[in-house]
Amino acid sequence: MVEKKYKLKRDIQKIIRLNEQENEYIKKKIEKSPFNNFQNFALTLLIQGEIKTTDYSELFTLNKQVSAIGNNINQVVRLANQFNEISTDDILDLQKEIQEVKDMVRMKINQDMKENRKGIHDGLHKTS
């Protein structure tokens, strides 16, 4: 037998048995969770007693809508500028404002995702 050259941080193994239905159910729950494998999912669930998932779909939808609004504004601005009905300063102001909104949405998404990951990480490493 080949001797292991490294020491596992978690050297105690627990084994569970599932039927096919239970296994498929757990696979689906893992897919919806922020974890990519059973061990991380189960460890968090066993230690924290719950898996918190955050639905970012509304923020992603908002981000898409803000981008679409920005594209529409750019089209209107091009036409208005073409017919000299809007000043260059107004164009720049509109572009700056839409970029600020896009940046705020993107920052909020990143902040929420970072906090969610941090909460998961902190929960795994608490000591009693």
pLDDT at 19 (0 to 100)? 94
pLDDT at 83 (0 to 100)? 81
pLDDT at 128 (0 to 100)? 40
72/25 Cα distance (integer angstroms)? 44
108/114 Cα distance (integer angstroms)? 10
Q: pTM higher than 0.95 for the full model?
A: no
pLDDT at 63 (0 to 100)? 82
DSSP H helices, the chain, are 20-32, 38-48, 57-82, 88-124
How does pLDDT run along the chain (128 residues), one tens digit per residue? 556 567 778 888 888 899 999 999 999 988 888 888 898 888 888 887 766 666 778 878 888 888 888 888 878 878 887 887 777 787 788 888 888 888 888 888 888 777 766 655 555 544 44
Cβ contacts of 60 within 8 Å, gap of 6 or more: 109
Residue recorded with tokens 């803000």: 66
80/88 Cα distance (integer angstroms)? 10
